[in-house]
Structure formats: structure tokens, C-alpha cells
Structure 1
Amino acid sequence: MRATALAGALFLAASAPALAQGLSRAETVMGQTVDAEYERSVALLGRLVDQNSGTLNLDGVTRVGAMMRAELEPLGFTVEWKPMAAVQRAGHLVAVHAGRPGGKRILLIGHLDTVFEPSSPFQKFVRKGDKAEGPGAGDDKGGMVVIVAALRAMQAAGTLKDANIEIVLTGDEEDAGSPHRISRADLIAAGRRADVALDFEGLVTEGGRDMGSIARRSVTDWRITATGRTGHSSLIFTPDLGDGAIHELVRILAAFREELPEPNLTFNPGVIAGGATASIDESGNAAAAGKTNIIARTAVATGDFRTLSEEQTARVRGKMEAIVAAHAPGTDAKIEFGEGYPAMAPTAGNTALLAALNAVNRDLKLPEMPPLDPLKRGAGDISFVANDVDSLAGLGTDSSGDHAPGETVDLASIRRQAKRAAILISRLASEREGAGR
């Protein structure tokens, strides 16, 4: 279990004048190294982006894993590829750097895959000055480049040799293999070994200001299937034929909108189909057939809902199930839930990590990073470890248009994010293992 003492220890450390008096000599070298290797970092990003690694392109994901292995092994990491054929995914890259015995254990999280499969027309890295377009340029190949740049800066400054670091780069973050007990087993185990987890998905900015992510909401998929008695449309609402499947589905969705809203919750029906026959496949493609004068026999809707805690998830699920069960006359309906991603709830320990990062910002003469409203970012892999270890997300690059053609990364953000990460990891790594836990 997480101990509250860690929050206090990190908060005091982050608030102490000693941490706000400027960079050490080693930390200055880290910043200089990041700047000197900027073009190297951009070139690495270009190579990673140009290798398609859509989640279902298993060979492509494996190739990106090999490219990251080539970056990490020269830095002293022992790298292992974890195949995930059991869940129809490529696999994960796990890299371990053994440092000073008894030092704090730090977990770095990123992902190899993107949403852009080989069939997408958006395939190439195109640099435009301090910006670049490309599939996954921000999410999450930019984040992986920040990890490499930070570690190389630590090596140049002499702080990497004593650092105990484990890196988990999943190969299916955008479409996790099922069941999660298999596809996320390595990540969860790494979280239980760690004292701190840092996630290198994208940085979020508001009004030109970098924000810190101490929380991420969950995501749970759902599917509602409503059925009714079919017949001539002139007999709808009669005792014999009832309301029909489409009216039942509409009743349910309208009740969701009326009864579910509460803080930190969103819920969305993404696809709907209804008629004499109706279906929605696993890719979200809908098919329906019927006529205007036939009462619909079947209606299907798929969507998701997002919460800020596991307690909220359980409570909302219960309310949804109760709404679905209150059938309109002559109808039936059922709701099914997917595995989903858990929530990364805001905690005192996560807040203290952000305070430690803001101490780094002060020493780098960068603005303080306020906590980001968790409504403004989606679910992510770090949520699988957040119940076991204090966590901070959003240490990757600043980008826009993620998950769509034209995804654009701010290349300049590699510099400040790598400097922040190198210094933060070095400071955390110098602390005692389990200190404050």
C-alpha cells in the first residue's frame, strides 16, 4: 500500500530552499547535452515515425522495439522483448538499468504503437522547422525520444550509473490485448517493484503553459443490445407489440443523459444501429436493415464512460445497469462492459511528485506547471500501476492533432521535457529505496 509519508517527504524536498538555489554542475551538463544532441533526437524521431507501428502491425511494432533496444543497450540497460502472441499483439520492451544498491527504483512508461495502421494514408515524418508531422510523432514516439535524450544526458553527466531504472514500452497501448491480466502483467509487475512511476505520453498545454498530470481518468467500453417484438408499425405501443427495440434503446440513452451526470464523469454513445436486423462489429462498423412500416426487432449501441476513481466506476456501472433493466413495454435489453482502463486518481503522493518537478522547473527558470484537469486527457497505461506507486504523467512531447492525419509535434518541446526528465530522474534516483513509502 502507498504510504502518506512519501508525499510529505517529497513535498518537503521539493519545497526546500536547497532545491531552488540553482542547478548543480551535473544538472548543467545534462541541459547542455540535451541541447547539443537536439538534432540527433530529431533524427531518431524521424526514424521511429517512418517505421509504421500501428497496433495491429505486429511486425512494425516489433521493429520499433528493436530500434529502441539499439538506443538503450549502449546506455547499460538489459533489454528483453516480451512477446504477446497470447493476446494477438506484438509484445512489450522491458529494459532494466541496475544502479546503486538501495537507491530509489524508478519506472519509465511509454508505448511503441500508434493508431495509424499500414492502411492509413498518413505514414511519413515531415519536418517543418521546429514542427514535424507524422504518425505517432507526439503519441508516443516523441515521448520515447524524450526518454532516450534524458538518459543520454544523465550518462554524460555521470548520474545514470547509480540510477535504478526500469523502462516498460508497451506494444499495444492504443488497443490493449485482452485479457489485460496477460497484456498488462509485465507493466503491473514493474509498478509493484517501483518507488516512482513517470509516464512519457504527451505534455498538455493550456494557454501556452505546460501542465502537470497527476490524474488520468479511466475508460470502460459498453454495449447495449435492445430487443422488441416486431410487426406492422401501426400496432406499435399496443399491449401485443409494445414499444419496439429502437424506442427501448432511446429510452436508455435518454435516461443516461438525465440521471448519470456527476463531477469527473463523461459517457458517450459512439455508434448506434437499429432495425429489423442490426449489428456493430468489433471495429465499430454498423449494419442495419428494416422498413419504415416495420417495428424494429433489434437496436445496438456502443460507447464508453470515463471516471476518476474505481469507486466511481463501480457506482456508475450500477446506475447504468439499473437504467437498462427498467424495460419499456414489450422489450428487453442488456448491457455488457469491456475490461477498460483503470483510473489514475489524484493523490498526495502524485501531487508531491509534481512539486518535485516544479522544483526542477524553478532551477531551469521555467514556469511552474499547475495540475491539469483530468477531464482534459484520456486513459493511459500509467493507470495500471497508479494504485501501487506514486505517479506522474505527461512527460512526453507537446503535440497537436494526435490520433488524426496531420498529427504535429513541437520539436522544441523535446529540449525542455528531456531536461526536466533527466534532472527529476537523477534527483529521485539519489534518494533511498522505499524512502517515505
Structure 2
Amino acid sequence: MKKLLLASAILCSYTASAQKLSSTERKIVASVQQNMPQSEKLLEQLVNINSGTLNVKGVREVGTVLQKEFDALGFKTEWVAMPETMQRAGHLVAQHKGKKGKKLFLIGHLDTVFELDMPFTKYTRLNDSTATGQGVNDMKGGDVVILAALQALQANGLLKNASITAYFTGDEERGGKGPESRADFIARAKQANVALAFETATNLHTVATARRGSSTWQLKTFGTAAHSSGIFKPAVGYGAIYEAARILNSFRETLSQEQYLTFNPGLMVGGSEVNYDEAKARGEVVGKTNIIAPTASVVGDLRFLTEAQKDAAREKMRAIVAQNLTNTKAEITFSDGLPGMAPTPGNQKLAALADQTSRDLGYGPVAAGDPGSRGGGDISYIAQYVDCLDGLGVSGKGAHAAGETINLKEFPMLAERAALMIYRLTR
């Protein structure tokens, strides 16, 4: 009897929430649900194609599968090629022109972190609520959410006046070098009013109004090569390794408590002879315990929420580098990577839309997540030009690792939410 009453209460709660949906919106939800078997079948097909960033053939194959689906929806599709020297697959763009509502820019990516030389894991259902497979979570599941949402709108005749560009990059996980990699992406996004990105959802109740940017730095230190018995003496000094250690520790002491700011020394080499190969992320070193190291090199990343935070951190790091130990020198260089995505008022409005849509569906509240819990993403390249929201893809666990999973119970819910958000923005 208690179970029956509980089930009745849940049903009444859902019915009350569903009544907040218009008749058209209820049809959209029904279409998403009806098409879920086909959506999961498509996801399985995509996951079973290896599309590690450097597997150009595999990335293009994933794009070709999606291209056919968008062609069927009446979108104009094209490939944006990259220079051959970049060794990247390029990007798939699907565009639908209309004159009603907001101009939307939907973001996905075709590649995964799993390259051809890594063990391959096919799509496998572990139980009724969980499946695993390479990229099932990040972000082939998100790509399918985009398509499932648009298919539901098309099934109800709701795309004909919508202005939507769906952009799937081919090198999100390992971006090609040079401005050409994102030039077309940025140019097309500037024509939109709203950008929605379908990277992994932390869970059903969290979206991303902000993401940290990332850049790299390289520290080089120099000392006087001499017998180790003379170390610390004024004429000899401390050597390159102690100078590097001083600088790294000062970075930690000075900057490590600042919110959203992190800096990680990922590789360090020091000794009598040092060689660092940036392309291969590999260092070679020769040294002896009784020789004071004349050179050392450290490379790392710097993550930040805003450009102002990045610039301020760099200035503090430069100041620390300049305070050399006796008979040592040091220099630091910075390279820009992914910009930050700040939590703007426009982004907050989009989060409010996600929250209201979720509540109207009966799925509960949605709030902006902690920017410090996410890495960078393609949406950051355009955050300064357009209102943005990310984390709209599927939920699951273990992204970027063997055993990556998708939450199949939340999969249709997230597709429904995406469909209604797109509908409300374009009507």
C-alpha cells in the first residue's frame, strides 16, 4: 500500500510539472522518447568507430555518419578542411537558416582521447542504466543529444523557421597548431546570439556558465658548473636545480590559494646536459652527483577563469623568476592556449532557462557548477562574443579513461531538456 501511495505521489508530481509544458512541448518530449532506441543505436555506431584525434580517417568517418543524419533533417552540411601540415581531420558544419528567434550555435566534437595505439573498447551495455565505450561520455553522447533534440523538433515541424548552426570540431581533445584550427569556428559563432555546448554533464542538475582557460609556460634556469663541494659558496652559487626549486616553491607559496587558479609543473629536467623535445614532450639529461647542474628546464600549464586573472598570475610569476639565487639566472616564457569562459550575466540567463525547462519537465532544479571542476573546451574560444552555456551533454563517469560510462537513465531526460531549450530559444 505504501509503495502504491509513493508511486501515485510521484506520478502526480510529474503530471503537475508536465502541465507546465505546452501541448507542442509535450509532443516534442514524446518524439524524443519514441526515438530513443534509434538514438542509442546511433550512439553505439559512433562509439564503435575509433576517432582518436590523430586518427584522421576515424574522425572523418564519425563526421560522415553525423553528416548523413543532418542531411536528412534538411541542414546544409560541409567539411571545413585544415592545412595538410596540421594533420587534423577538419570540422563538420551543419547549418539551417531561418528568421525566427535566437540564432543558435550548437557545439560538439568528433574526436576522442583514445588513439589507435590504445586498447579499444566497444559500446557495451553493462546494465539497464549504464553503458561503456570509448567516447560514449566525452562526447559522442553529447553529439547524439544534439541530433536527438533536432530530430524531435523536425518531427513536429518546428525547424523550418529556426536559425541553427551545429559545429563539430575534429580536434577538440588535441587542437591543431595555428589560428586556422579555430578561425572558421569563431567566425561562424560571431553570427549567432547563443552558443550551447554539449560537453559532458556533471549530472542532471548542473550546467557550466564558466570554464577555465589554459596556457603553458616554460622555465629555464642557469647556474655555474663546478665541483659539488663548492656549492653555496659565493663564487659558485646554488646551481640551476636549486634555482628552479626556489622558483617552483615560490609559485606554490604565492599563488596556490587563489580561487580558480592552478599551475602544474608537468615535466622537469636538470643537470650537466639537458635536452627537451617539445613536440614529443620528452626530456633527456646527463648529470653526475658531484657536478653542480648548470642548467634546468621545467614546463607546465596555467589554468585561470578570466584573462585578467591569467595576466596577473603571469606578472607575479615573472617577479618571482627575477629574484635569483647567488650566481644563477632564470627566464620564463608563456604560450597562450585556450581562453577562459567567464560567468557573464548572459550565461546566467541561459542557466536560468535550463533550470526552468528542467523544472517544467519535472526533473528538478539546475544550477551553475563550479568552474574549477572542469577543464577547457571549444566554447571558450567564443565566450567573449556570444552568450554561452556548456555541460549540456550526457552524464556518466570516467571521461578520458578506460571504462568511461554513460548514464542511460538520464540520457533521454537530457535530450528532452535540450530539445525544449532549443525550441524555446528559436520560437
Q: TM-score, normalised by structure 2?
A: 0.92
Q: Distance in 1 between matches of 2:315 and 2:173?
A: 27
Q: Distance in 1 between matches of 2:280 and 2:69?
A: 35
2:140 corresponds to 1:141? yes
2:269 corresponds to 1:270? no
Q: Which digits, 9 at most, give the CA deviation of each residue in 1:294-341, with x for residues without a partner? A: 111222222111111111111111111221222222222222222210
**CA-atom RMSD, angstroms?**
1.6
| Post-superposition offset of 1:381 | 0.6
**Residue equivalent to 1:98:** 97
Q: Distance in 2 between matches of 1:122 and 1:323?
A: 45
**Residue equivalent to 2:162:** 163
| Post-superposition offset of 1:59 | 1.4
**Residue equivalent to 2:212:** 217
**Residue equivalent to 1:154:** 153
Question: Where do residues 10-409 of structure 1 align in structure 2 (5 Å cutoff)?
Answer: 22-85=20-83, 87-99=86-98, 101-129=99-127, 130-179=129-178, 181-205=179-203, 210-261=205-256, 262-281=258-277, 282-409=279-406
Q: Which digits, 9 at most, give the CA deviation of each residue in 1:87-114, with x for residues without a partner? A: 3321011110112x25320000011111
Q: Distance in 2 between matches of 1:36 and 1:183?
A: 38
User: Contact 2:100 / 2:426 at 8 angstroms: preserved in 1?
Assistant: no
| Post-superposition offset of 1:191 | 1.7
Q: Distance in 2 between matches of 1:275 and 1:123?
A: 42
5+ long unaligned stretches in structure 2: 1-16
| Identical counterparts, % of pairs | 48
5+ long unaligned stretches in structure 1: 1-18, 431-437
| Post-superposition offset of 1:224 | 1.3
Greater relative contact order (CA < 8 Å, ≥ 6 in sequence): 1
Q: Distance in 2 between matches of 1:385 and 1:114?
A: 21
Q: Which digits, 9 at most, give the CA deviation of each residue in 1:64-98, with x for residues without a partner? A: 11111011110111111011125332101111011
What SS does the corresponding residue of 1:343 show, helix, strand or coil? coil
User: Contact 2:55 / 2:115 at 8 angstroms: preserved in 1?
Assistant: yes
Q: Distance in 2 between matches of 1:336 and 1:330?
A: 21
Residues 312 and 20 of structure 1, relative CA distance in 2, 3 Å threshold: farther
Q: Distance in 1 between matches of 2:259 and 2:63?
A: 39
What SS does the corresponding residue of 2:253 show, helix, strand or coil? helix
What SS does the corresponding residue of 2:422 show, helix, strand or coil? helix
**Residue equivalent to 1:8:** none
| Post-superposition offset of 1:20 | 9.3
Q: Distance in 1 between matches of 2:424 and 2:322?
A: 54
What SS does the corresponding residue of 2:269 show, helix, strand or coil? strand
| Amino acid aligned to 2:146 | I
Q: Which digits, 9 at most, give the CA deviation of each residue in 1:145-191, with x for residues without a partner? A: 11111111111122122211001111111111112x21111111122
| Post-superposition offset of 1:365 | 0.5
User: Contact 1:20 / 1:359 at 8 angstroms: preserved in 2?
Assistant: no
Residues 122 and 274 of structure 1, relative CA distance in 2, 3 Å threshold: farther
| Post-superposition offset of 1:124 | 2.1
User: Contact 2:209 / 2:388 at 8 angstroms: preserved in 1?
Assistant: yes
Residues 321 and 128 of structure 1, relative CA distance in 2, 3 Å threshold: same
Deviates more, 1:345-354 or 1:327-336: 327-336
What SS does the corresponding residue of 1:184 show, helix, strand or coil? helix
What SS does the corresponding residue of 1:335 show, helix, strand or coil? strand
Q: TM-score, normalised by structure 1?
A: 0.90
What SS does the corresponding residue of 2:38 show, helix, strand or coil? helix
**Residue equivalent to 2:13:** none
